[in-house]
Amino acid sequence: MKAHFWKGAFPIILAAISGPSGAAGEQANEIFSHSVLTLPFEYRSGEPWSRTITSREGWESFYNELVSQNVVDGYSEGLTTAPDIDFTNYQVVAGGVGRRNAGGLEVMVNRTYESSTYMNVYGYFVSAGSNCAVTQAVNYPYAAILIKKTDKPIRFQFSDLTYHCSD
């Protein structure tokens, strides 16, 4: 049975990243990689996309776009306000592979690493093997993460990974 890492519970839980202030908090930033965000919907784009969101205004704009793309018959109860994020210390990085006409593909972030010149985001494009049953529904695989704020350019390094199902 395939795990669904990118769809599920909402609201976004950021408690894991709120740490103490002072020296202990600074040390935590040195070992903090990222926190996975669960968005309320997929971002519906026909093409691959990525966004780096560094402000409350940018986050609200992106969030409102997600809601407006996916609201059915005007129903958006509980989804009208973007959850709070501390954009003084963190930023959101999100991206997807665009429209897919079948299931079996996930975008997974493994880790982030800040070098002297870049913020590197490492991950996988995980796809189902030829012996796996997948849905034939349209989907938009994506990943969204929260990372510490940086002015360095973000460099994405993703590898293909295939999982195989038993017969």
Instruction: Indicate if the pLDDT at residue 28 is higher than 50.
Output: no
In a domain, 41, yes or no: yes
What pLDDT score was predicted for residue 51? 94
pTM here? 0.75
Distinct helix (H) and strand (E) counts, the chain: 2, 7
Nearest CA-CA partner of 56 in 34, 86, 13? 86
**Could you give the CA distance from residue 49 to residue 56 in angstroms, rounded to a whole number?**
20
The pLDDT tens digits for 79-101 are 668 889 999 999 999 999 999 98
In a domain, 25, yes or no: yes
Total domains, the chain: 1
Domain limits for position 79: 15-163
In a domain, 7, yes or no: no
Nearest CA-CA partner of 29 in 40, 21, 39? 21
In a domain, 8, yes or no: no
